[in-house]
Chains A and B, each alone.
Chain A
Amino acid sequence: MATLTLPVKEQQKVLAQEALITGSEAIAVACKLANVDVVTAYPIRPYDTVMQYMSQLVADGELDCEFIVADSENSQFEIVKHASVCGARVFCGSSGIGWMYAMEVLTVTPSLRVPMVALVGNRALDDPGAFGVEHNDALAVRDLGWNLVWVDTAQEALDTALICYRFAEDRRIFVPVAISCDGAFLTHSQSLVKLPAAEQVKKFLPKYNRGELLVHPDNVISVAPQCNEDWVMEVRRQNYAVTERACDVLREVYAEFESIFGRKYGNPFFEEYRTEDAEIVLFGMGTLSTPAKVTIDKLREQGKKVGLVRLRWFRPFAGAEIAKALERFRAIAVLDRDLSLGSPDLSGVVATELRSALYTNAKTRPPVLDFLCGLGGREVTVPDVEKIVEITFEAAAGKPQPLTQWIGLRG
């Protein structure tokens, strides 16, 4: 949980206002504070409320930027990609199948070193049609060089959006980042958010500077020629080098954020909730944290020692830190709000990645059970979490449990 560490006078300077806003609006506020230059919109639920807020900000003169409604998500992301290489700070976003329509562009932005920030309002992939949350949309780019972060409150959304600009535009990184907000549960639900002052944001975010990569008549370069087997591997190695630095840069950025805004997120990669003396933990991303925390509080009163580790940054995946934090528990329950059909043990994406990180980093081998839940926007309920905890305690007690289970399924 974020806590304030500045003296009161500083706090008052930093916390200019408070507002009751949704996750989407929080992102819009962050873009305004970041003084973005070019924004492209295309309608698809549930991310697109952010663009409705952006439109109003521009129309009311609160943000000076080009606001373009594109003819498709593919065009939407192409427009900001090219605006970015010409030096504009950009913002974009999509959900579900719309994000997939932009896939061609999403694929090339990392190697083109386009530090765009995109909101993914996580949404189940059609077909069948569904507006509700699943994580497979954002996860689809996980191998391509995008950085990926999940937030679970409007406050975290606003703060993390600013962090994303600072992180992405750092020349040691300079690749795109997607900030994921669970569709409906975060995009459309309101909570009280402390809005940082513009001067603080200016201190935190230096100007976007492409340096010698800028496309402009004063800099006659040719960008992204055909390379083939002669040079593609070396270009990939450059993107790989970014991933080698990413965790360290992220730590730096969060430390900077804390020193300027006073809000402390602790370790950037994950949040820990009541894990100090936990025997088992839940592990997942996004607004699963709400039913998880409510259930944890309830079970704690019954004496059950359970905690939550909520993963924020999926890319970079801080395997060593995560393993160090999790290896001491007697069992781990992963809540996967996604599928990875045909995967090892038929587990979801998060469980598969976690097991891989534990295998190479952890000194112990606690059982890691995967629970596929909340797909298509279905609520993960307190009884669901209670069931998960019960099964996981069985595993902790040495009684083997299935590696992957479905929770909350009909019948």
Chain B
Amino acid sequence: MSTFVETEPTQELEPFKGVKKVPYEEYFTSGHRTCEGCESAQFLRLVAKAAGPRTIVVGATSCMYVANTSYYSTVWGLPWIHTQLGAGGSSALGTAAALRALMRKGEMKKEPINVIAFCGDGGGADMGLSAISATLTHPDYNLLIVLYDNEEYGNTGIQVSSTSPYGVNTTFSTPGKVKRIMHNRWKKNVAGLMLAGHPTCKYVGTVIPSYALQTMNCVRRALSIGGPTFIHCLNPCPKGWDFDPMLAYEIGHLAVNTGIWPLYEVEKGELKLYGKTREIAEGRFKRLPVADYLLKQGRFAHFTNEDVEFFQSQVDDMWNNWLIPGVIPLRKQAASTAPAA
């Protein structure tokens, strides 16, 4: 007997079988004021394209609010409404609840409508964590929450959040004469938290715009599977991370190829790594040194060799010692070959 319940029908969104099969229609179009090379905007463009026109989007306060939707302009070719910083999870739930009630009571034409709420890492991993978690416990409201993670509070001019990497330079974690590392916290494993903590949630996935086709297909799978779902996207940010905008795509690949950002999907409890992450896990690709990734970004320019080594050791630990690398940090029951203490 499954823990997963049947839900109202969702749209049947088949995966795109290749870049050339992706439709031309844009539902996130021009009219935004995002930075050159903004991967968060790229991500939302992919989400909108993957979802199609029978969709309602709710957007929490973030870069993707102010930069995309400053009156008179809007990027959205879909119905869109703003919500508060910590309300990504609750706004999605409210939207889905209204549609369900009104359709059941015959007040609205019955059809599967995609409900997508987006939030940044500030709004999702910090302020809105509780609301997202509560929403994922509801087994039968169809909705998708996407957390676009540029590892900072970007809209307010770059400050640390719970998903900011160790040691990063931001305006709230400034390297100084006495303290070089003001942010000594490791990145919160949000997707792991979501998939481990909500056993009836049918879909949790991690994506990155450098893998554009896979990102769209993850979104389509999440929207089709039924119930509340969650996608965490890593979004290189030229402004906050301090790199030339033309490198955004490459930085994304480096995040994956160093093993720092694992790509995976969990569908009804089954874990599937994909892309280079899968090759790393299967031993077919050797992880690049984290220095290749860190030292291309000005936000780590203050790092000493020790800092880079520490960062490397954490990533190594994740890949060597976690029960499921990148996903669950419980230590493996290792048969120790070390001499007894």
Residues of A whose CB lies within 8 Å of any CB of B are: 37-38, 40, 64-66, 68, 70-72, 74-76, 78-88, 104-105, 108, 207, 215-217, 219-228, 230-231
B38: min CB distance to chain A, Å: 16
Given contacts A105-B84, A217-B78, A227-B71, contact A38 B90 (CB under 8 A): no
Interface status of B196 (Cβ within 8 A of chain A):
no
| Alpha-carbon distance between A230 and B72 when the two chains are bound, in angstroms | 10
B101 touches A74 (CB 8 A): no
Alpha-carbon distance between A72 and B104 when the two chains are bound, in angstroms: 27
Q: A84-B98, A88-B98 are in contact. Are A75 and B131 (CB under 8 A)?
A: yes
Output the least CB separation between B84 and chain A (Å): 5
Across the interface, do B70 and A82 meet the contact criterion of CB distance under 8 Å?
A: no
**What separation, in Å, do the CA atoms of A223 and B82 have in the docked complex?**
6
B interface, over-half SS: mixed
B97–A38 touching, CB < 8 Å: yes
Residues of chain A contacted by B107 (CB below 8 angstroms): 37, 87, 207
Stretch at the interface among B52-60, B213-221, B230-238, B319-327: B52-60
22 interchain pairs, CB-CB under 8 A: A37-B101, A64-B104, A66-B98, A68-B97, A74-B87, A75-B131, A78-B87, A78-B90, A79-B93, A82-B92, A84-B94, A86-B94, A87-B102, A87-B107, A88-B97, A88-B101, A88-B102, A105-B84, A207-B107, A217-B79, A220-B76, A225-B71
Residues of B within 8 A of A108 (CB): 84
CB-CB under 8 A from B133, the residues of chain A are 71
What is the CA–CA distance of A317 and B153 in the complex, to the nearest angstrom? 41
Contact B130 A217, beta carbon cutoff 8 Å: no
Which residue of B73, B74, B101 contacts A65 across the interface (Cβ within 8 Å)? B101
Instruction: Please name the residue on chain A nearest to B131 by beta carbon.
Output: A75
- Tell me which residues across on chain A come within 8 A of B102, comparing CB atoms: 37, 86-88
Residue of A nearest to B93 (CB): A79
Complex CA gap A226/B66 in Å reads 6
CB neighbours (8 Å) of A68 from chain B are: 93, 97, 138
A79 nearest CB neighbor, chain B only: B94
* B71, B81, B130: the one within 8 Å of A85 (CB): B81
For the complex, is B113 an interface residue (Cβ under 8 Å from A)?
Answer: yes
Query: Smallest CB-CB separation from B155: which chain A residue?
Result: A226
Q: Across the two chains, which residue of chain A brings its CB closest to B58?
A: A82
Q: Are B90 and A70 in contact (CB under 8 A)?
A: yes
B74 CB to nearest A CB, Å: 4
A75 nearest in chain B by CB position: B90
Query: Lowest 10 A-B CB distances belong to which pairs?
Result: A82-B94, A71-B134, A86-B98, A88-B98, A78-B90, A224-B82, A222-B74, A79-B94, A83-B98, A225-B69
Q: Which residues of the other chain, A, contact B66 by a CB distance below 8 angstroms?
A: 226
Q: Name the one of A38, A75, A82, A226 contacting B71, with C-beta atoms under 8 angstroms.
A: A226
In the assembled complex, how far is the CB of residue B138 from the closest CB belonging to chain A, in whole angstroms? Answer: 8
Chain B contacts of A226 at CB under 8 A? Answer: 65-66, 69-71
A230 / chain B contacts, CB cutoff of 8 Å? 71
The answer for the CA separation of A84 and B94 in the assembled complex, in Å, is 8
Q: Is the CB of B94 within 8 A of A64?
A: no
Q: Report chain A residues within 8 Å CB of B92.
A: 82
Inside 8 A of B76's CB, which chain A residues have their CB?
A: 220, 222
Given contacts A86-B95, A219-B79, A225-B82, contact A37 B105 (CB under 8 A): yes
**Which of the residues B80, B90, B100, B113 comes within 8 Å of A79, measured between beta carbons?**
B90
Pick from B80, B91, B99, B101 the residue with the most CB of A within 10 Å: B101
B131, A71: Cβ atoms under 8 Å?
A: yes
B55 touching A75, Cβ below 8 Å: no
A217-B56 contact in complex given A74-B86, A222-B74, A225-B82, C-beta closer than 8 Å:
yes
Q: CA–CA, A71 to B134, complex, Å?
A: 6
Of the candidates B56, B77, B86, the one whose C-beta lies within 8 Å of that of A86 is B56
Q: For A82, give its contact among B78, B98, B105, B138 (CB under 8 Å).
A: B98
Rounded to whole angstroms, the CA-CA distance of A84 and B90 in the bound complex is 13
Hey, which chain B residues are within 8 Å of A81, CB to CB? 91, 94
- Complex contact A38–B94 (CB within 8 A): yes
Query: A64 and B105 in contact (CB under 8 A), knowing A70-B134, A75-B87?
Result: yes
Known: A225-B74, A226-B70. A216 touches B79 (CB 8 A): yes
Contact of A87 among B69, B89, B98 (CB under 8 A): B98
Q: Across the two chains, which residue of chain B brings its CB closest to A221?
A: B79
Q: Do A66 and B79 touch across chains, with their CB atoms under 8 A apart?
A: no
Query: Which of chain B's residues has its CB closest to A37's CB?
Result: B101
Q: Is the CB of A82 within 8 A of B82?
A: no
* Closest Cβ–Cβ distance, residue B25 to chain A (whole Å): 13
User: Is B83 an interface residue when CB atoms closer than 8 A count as contact?
Assistant: yes
B79 close to A228 (CB less than 8 A):
no
Q: Note all chain B residues with C-beta closer than 8 A to A216.
A: 56, 79, 108, 113
Closest residue of chain A to B101 (Cβ to Cβ) is A37
A105 vs B82: C-alpha distance when bound (angstroms): 12
**Chain B contacts of A231 at CB under 8 A?**
71
Known contacts A74-B87, A82-B94: does B81 contact A38 (CB below 8 Å)?
Answer: no
In the complex, the chain B residue whose C-beta lies closest to that of A76 is B90
Q: How far is the CB of B70 from chain A (nearest CB, A)?
A: 4
Minimum CB–CB distance from B11 to chain A (whole Å) comes to 11
Further 14 A-B residue pairs, CB within 8 A, beyond A65-B101, A78-B90, A226-B66:
A37-B102, A70-B134, A72-B131, A74-B87, A74-B131, A75-B130, A85-B81, A86-B94, A105-B87, A217-B79, A220-B78, A223-B80, A225-B82, A231-B71
CA distance A241 to B103 in the complex (A): 34
Which of B54, B65, B73 contacts A217 (CB under 8 A)?
A: B54
A332 to B192, CA, bound (A): 64
Tell me whether B134 and A86 are in contact (CB under 8 A). Answer: no
Give the residue of A71, A79, A86, A222 whose beta carbon is less than 8 angstroms from that of B130. Answer: A71
Query: How far is B89's CA from A70's CA once the two chains are assembled, in angstroms?
Result: 11
Question: How distant is the Cα of A75 from the Cα of B65 in the complex, in angstroms?
Answer: 20
Chain B: which residue is nearest A208 at the CB level?
B107
Query: B residues within 8 A CB of A74?
Result: 86-87, 90, 131
CB B300 to nearest CB in A, in angstroms, measures 31
Among residues of B, the one whose C-beta sits closest to the C-beta of A220 is B79
Shortest distance from the beta carbon of A94 to any chain B beta carbon, whole Å: 14
Give residues 137-167 of B contacting A (CB, 8 Å): 138
Residue among A64, A78, A226, A230 facing the most chain B CB atoms (10 A cut-off):
A78
* A83→B97 contact, CB < 8 A: yes
For B108, give its contact among A71, A75, A87, A227 (CB under 8 Å).
A87
CA distance A79 to B77 in the complex (A): 24
